[in-house]
Structure 1
Amino acid sequence: MHRRFSRSLVLLGFSISLLARAQGPPQSGGDFSSNPHPSVLPSNVILVKGAWSSASDSVTPLPEGGRVANNTYTNRYFGLTYSLSPDWTEKYSGPPPSDSGYYVLAQIRSADTFKGTSRGSILIAAQDLFFTLTPAGNALELINYDKESLNRDYKVEQPPTLVTIANHSFVRFDYGSPVAELHWHVLATQIRCHMVQFVFTSRDTKLVESLVEEMGKMTLPAEAGPISGRGGGEVPVCIKDYARDENVLERVDPIFAERRFNPVPVRIIIDKQGKVKHIHILSAFPDQVKAITDALFQWRTPGDTPIHECRNRMMNLCLCAKKFRMRGLLAVLGLLVCFPTGALGADNLIGSVRNQSRGEPAVGDEVILIRLGAATPEETRAKTDAQGAFALHVQYPDKPYLVRVFHQGVSYDQQASAGQALSIQVFDAATNVRGITGTIEILRTGTNGNLLHVSDLIEIKNVSSPPLTQAGERTFDVYLPSNAMIDSVLAAGPGEMGMMISAAPVPGQPGHYTVNFPLRPGATKFAFNYDLPYDGRVAFHPRFALPVQQLAVMIPPTMRFSSRSLAFKILATGNSRYQVHAASQVKAGAGPGFEVSGTGALPPLGDQANSQASAKSPVIPNPIRSAAARAALPSLASIDSRLNHTEPPSQSLVLGAVTTCLLAASALLVWRARKERSLSSAQTVVLRTGGVHPSPRRPN
């Protein structure tokens, strides 16, 4: 009773307070205000209330300090000048920097005097690579991430490609919206540890191209490049993780009077004496700014270090106001410019390698440039720098290439052509990785005289977290019939070309083989082609090292399939040239047995496979990946999510399409393997281990 009475008093008091406030004089600014002198808001200004950027002095240039004046955008921090046509203007200034280091430097649009049929816009923006939330360490990786993350409503018109503008290297990425009929052309470079990008938008592609051409009149600092711009020379060099305990001799943490829950990104410049010379706070409330500034000016770092060749040092902090203490941010930046950007052009390949297992650049990895179809395939090699970046000179710009990166003994390949900007992912290797399972296995059979030919296609999926590559002497076990005569074994990593490998028999266990092909994150495909003695019927007793979501047996219509297991279902594939029997959710160990009998040969795999097999050599017209390869060697990563249907009609339809894809993939694997055998083995081999055919040359 007492508690209820107390609550009533509180509620009554709160109601009276609200009533008194409602009956009092109206406050200034409301819809029903009677204030005779209301505040007048400025026009043509975006008002943002809250955290803002600030600096400890007004002399040191800031990224957000650029301005448009006399039809020229000038930014002293980035050493950038960009001339505009008279018909282009900036009406609104951009918002302050975000707490993830994103800057809207300028928003430029067609002026009222513009005479074109379609208008457009120019966005000049920058992303601080210290604070980006994207798993990328340079401008090239950021653009490639944007391409891979593009919403399906948009269409890639030109994948990330290296171009030269104003004698500097940029990465260009074009995409569009078919529904909105808009086109975006993005050109990005890296300056002082920031990705600086120009985004041109319009419905008129000719207008956009003319704007890109006008970029040739801009001026940029010498360091500008997709992977190189990290300061140095006349500006402070950016240093990764410099604010570690061993580099901070005296450290004072800020004391915040009010608890807030916002990250506070901060950049500081340290002079040769180890003192804090300049503080740039990207986003903070006024009370936070004072506390941070007072604390950081008391910091001391070692003075006379080799870094002083580049004059001042710039390092980075992220202050967490929620926890009332400093928190270092892992910055993905290098010490010095490693490649002169003036040397990069159409005869070069640049790229970066990122260790996705650790979320950081892959440092010191061997990078090999291989020319496909050449008698001496290796042209050059290099090593990744402190940012995982590399540059390779191309001798034959019109030829297709393969870039191979070795990380912890495992190779990662990507098709390439001259002038391309690559972003390659690698993973740490381990002998046993959790998260590896089978997705689908298809046995394709047909008779050939007194032999039964079997092509056993298996897909293995690696969904480890964090992502790791399983590598070693025995990465995968397969069980074949004990009297199988192996003709060939093929393997293809995620998104890679097929290659010939070998399977090692396990002593004392007929039909049990192991392979040491690395299982990288994603889908890896194997094809085991073998013959069996055939007198009109063969019984199969399958065994599985890993569970599979679908086991399918494909035979000609003139042959017969039988099984005592109720697991197999006849699937209506919609194709009278073959029949398919499938079992779902097959566990590891002994699987459902079956028997095939009769005679018959499977028909050709279709025009798609035939067109691939009749080609003289791999053709790679697209800088990222050829359309033919995308069509004939589809990614099977999405198959598993569609194989769990329990209703026979829907499952039949799905597996019918899946079977066609797998057969095309199998045909291409065989074709590519035969073509690759005519080339040097350096083009087709990944590891010099166990049962894999060795490459004549390996990285040291």
Structure 2
Amino acid sequence: MKSMKTILHAALASFLFAGTLAQAAQLTGTVTNKTTGKPAAGDTVVLVEPMTGMTEVAHTTVDGSGHYTLNRPSNAPALVKVTHQGAEFFADAPQSGSVPDIAVYDVAPKVEGVFAEADVLEIESGNGQLHVIERYFVHNTSMPPRTQWSPKSFEIVLPAEAVVESAQGQRPSAGSLPTTLKLQPDGAKGHYAFNFPIQPDEGDKDTQFNISYTIPYSGSFTFHPQESLSTQSVGVLLPKSITFTAGPGSAFTAINQDPNIQTLVAKNAVPGKAFEFTVSGTGSMPREDQGAASPGGPEAAAPASGQPGGGIGEPINTPDPLSKYKWWILGGLALLFVVAAAFLLRRPAGVPGVPAPLSPEVAATPAYSPAKPTSPATHNSALLSALKEELFALESDKLTGAVSPAEYAETKAALETVLKRALKNKS
């Protein structure tokens, strides 16, 4: 008897094969160089399918008017990729018709107007280790707008004892998901660089860098953070059971917005100048209590526009940039995206009392609430869209070597299982 995994793979292959037999659809779109305000004539445009290892299934170039046309050979999930001066820009590919306009920007190793709004460290302890999730929120307000990109687009300094578990970058474009990256060692121990583009901001959306690492811990440890960019706020989030002590000359202010979590903020960090703080004791973040700490939960705290990063309401006393990221930070959803996807998508299907699995990206969206019923069509459409994005992220991880062959195979098998269910429900 064939194994369930073999059957699932065969079913998925049959679906994809059937899709290739469908009549080719035509896609049209425009690409504009927002640095010059002119059409991005000559840029390469490629249609890629994430589910087949980012296979290129169609390609063309942008004409003198900024337009392009692609023939989509199947209805498999696909993305339109534009390459401009070596940098890649993406847009979701519809089944047919017009692709959303794609904006590209000229590229330079360093551009004026790049700064960090916040560097946030979430610290907890256990099993003789400190576990740290550090996130940087980086703005690019260059004028004219340009993308900062090089092998050292963004440099960071971690404690010399740090063991990096994972790292990700996320573009500011709408709908962008975190992409797992490999940090590049950059000189002295603990110094690393991201080879990831810092694109111009899109509205209030910036570029985000996320790092997870562990540090051997015997009950006390002193951090010496260093910033490579001018940074408006350096935030530290801790469980109440861990003691925080600022070092000499390091001014941290307590932000008392949550009774279960300590929030300490230092303002206006200068590039290259280290400051320090010491943590001692043990404890873990109360993640399960996040919803109760904010009236109405994260959804109620989100802005009316439905955009992420709504925060936990109006900051107390002076404006605090950290507050608008707090619930997103505490959830750890972006950094743990691939792991959470694999875990949630392996939940048994069809078991009474166990809801159908949702993508972490869907569940994390402020507009989504388990208490609000959605129609099957809406649910499946959102699930299919999220699965497509997850498969794209997974294939990107594979191409960059960020996941092992075993991890890739396991996660993709889980995604394919849910995809089959979603397609069955949609039909």
TM-score bucket of the superposed structures, by smaller chain: 0.5 to 0.7
Offset from partner CA, 1:306-350 (integer Å, 9 cap, x none): xxxxxxxxxxxxxxxxxxxxxxxxxxxxxxxxxxxxxxx993332
Equivalent position amino acid for 2:44 in 1:
E
Partner of 1:547: 230
Partner of 1:502: 182
Q: Is the 8 A contact 1:499 1:669 kept in 2?
A: no
Equivalent position amino acid for 2:334 in 1:
L
Q: Matches of 2:116 and 2:32 in 1, distance apart?
A: 27
Offset from partner CA, 1:656-695 (integer Å, 9 cap, x none): 343123445x51243147759985779427998xx999xx
1:481 to 154, 159, 166: 159
Partner of 2:262: 579
Offset from partner CA, 1:516-553 (integer Å, 9 cap, x none): 21111122110111100001111101111111111100
Partner of 1:220: none
| 1:514 CA displacement | 1.5
CA RMSD of aligned residues (A): 3.5
Change beyond 3 A, Cα 1:579–1:686: same
Equivalent position amino acid for 1:649 in 2:
N
- Give the 5 Å matches for 1:388-537: 388-397=66-75, 400-419=77-96, 420-495=98-173, 496-507=176-187, 509-522=188-201, 523-537=206-220
1:604 to 280, 287, 307: 287
Change beyond 3 A, Cα 1:587–1:528: same
Any idea what SS the aligned residue of 1:668 has?
coil
Q: Matches of 2:142 and 2:165 in 1, distance apart?
A: 32
Q: Matches of 1:572 and 1:532 in 2, distance apart?
A: 27
Equivalent position amino acid for 2:275 in 1:
P
| 1:364 CA displacement | 1.5
1:671 aligns with 2:319: no
Partner of 2:295: none
Any idea what SS the aligned residue of 1:437 has?
strand
| 1:513 CA displacement | 1.1
1:369 aligns with 2:47: yes
- Which residues of structure 1 form unaligned runs of 5+? 1-344, 609-626, 637-641, 694-700
Change beyond 3 A, Cα 1:677–1:503: farther
Change beyond 3 A, Cα 1:481–1:410: same
Any idea what SS the aligned residue of 2:159 has?
coil
- Which residues of structure 2 form unaligned runs of 5+? 1-22, 292-301, 342-387, 404-427
Any idea what SS the aligned residue of 1:658 has?
helix
Change beyond 3 A, Cα 1:663–1:396: farther
Q: Matches of 2:398 and 2:45 in 1, distance apart?
A: 13
| 1:402 CA displacement | 2.2
- Give the 5 Å matches for 1:278-297: none
Q: Matches of 1:600 and 1:632 in 2, distance apart?
A: 32
Change beyond 3 A, Cα 1:432–1:588: same
Equivalent position amino acid for 1:527 in 2:
N
Q: Is the 8 A contact 2:177 2:393 kept in 1?
A: no
**Structure (1/2) with the larger helix percentage:** 2
Deviates more, 1:510-519 or 1:583-592: 583-592
| 1:591 CA displacement | 3.6
Offset from partner CA, 1:46-73 (integer Å, 9 cap, x none): xxxxxxxxxxxxxxxxxxxxxxxxxxxx
Change beyond 3 A, Cα 1:478–1:366: same
Q: Matches of 1:677 and 1:346 in 2, distance apart?
A: 22
Equivalent position amino acid for 2:88 in 1:
S
Q: Is the 8 A contact 2:24 2:71 kept in 1?
A: no
- Give the 5 Å matches for 1:296-307: none
Q: Is the 8 A contact 2:250 2:276 kept in 1?
A: no
Change beyond 3 A, Cα 1:376–1:462: closer
Q: Matches of 1:547 and 1:656 in 2, distance apart?
A: 19
Q: Is the 8 A contact 1:490 1:673 kept in 2?
A: no
Any idea what SS the aligned residue of 2:92 has?
strand
Q: Matches of 1:530 and 1:668 in 2, distance apart?
A: 15
TM-score, reference length from structure 1: 0.41
Change beyond 3 A, Cα 1:692–1:385: farther
Q: Which has the larger radius of gyration?
A: 1
Change beyond 3 A, Cα 1:566–1:375: closer
Any idea what SS the aligned residue of 1:684 has?
helix
- Percent of aligned pairs with the same residue? 28
Q: Matches of 1:577 and 1:519 in 2, distance apart?
A: 34
| 1:396 CA displacement | 4.2
Greater RCO (CA < 8 Å, at least 6 residues apart): 2
1:556 to 239, 258, 271: 239
Q: Matches of 1:682 and 1:658 in 2, distance apart?
A: 25
Partner of 1:115: none
Partner of 1:378: 56
Q: Matches of 1:382 and 1:606 in 2, distance apart?
A: 51
1:684 aligns with 2:396: yes
1:656 to 320, 323, 326: 323
Q: Is the 8 A contact 2:50 2:77 kept in 1?
A: yes
- Give the 5 Å matches for 1:44-193: none
Change beyond 3 A, Cα 1:383–1:545: same
Change beyond 3 A, Cα 1:512–1:566: closer
Change beyond 3 A, Cα 1:468–1:423: same
Offset from partner CA, 1:425-444 (integer Å, 9 cap, x none): 00111122111111111100
TM-score, reference length from structure 2: 0.65
Q: Matches of 2:402 and 2:200 in 1, distance apart?
A: 20
| 1:421 CA displacement | 3.1
Partner of 1:22: none
Change beyond 3 A, Cα 1:518–1:402: same
Q: Is the 8 A contact 1:446 1:452 kept in 2?
A: yes
Change beyond 3 A, Cα 1:674–1:375: farther
Q: Matches of 1:471 and 1:570 in 2, distance apart?
A: 36
Q: Is the 8 A contact 1:517 1:692 kept in 2?
A: no
Any idea what SS the aligned residue of 1:454 has?
strand
Any idea what SS the aligned residue of 1:550 has?
strand
Change beyond 3 A, Cα 1:595–1:631: farther
| 1:358 CA displacement | 0.9
Any idea what SS the aligned residue of 1:589 has?
coil
Any idea what SS the aligned residue of 2:101 has?
strand
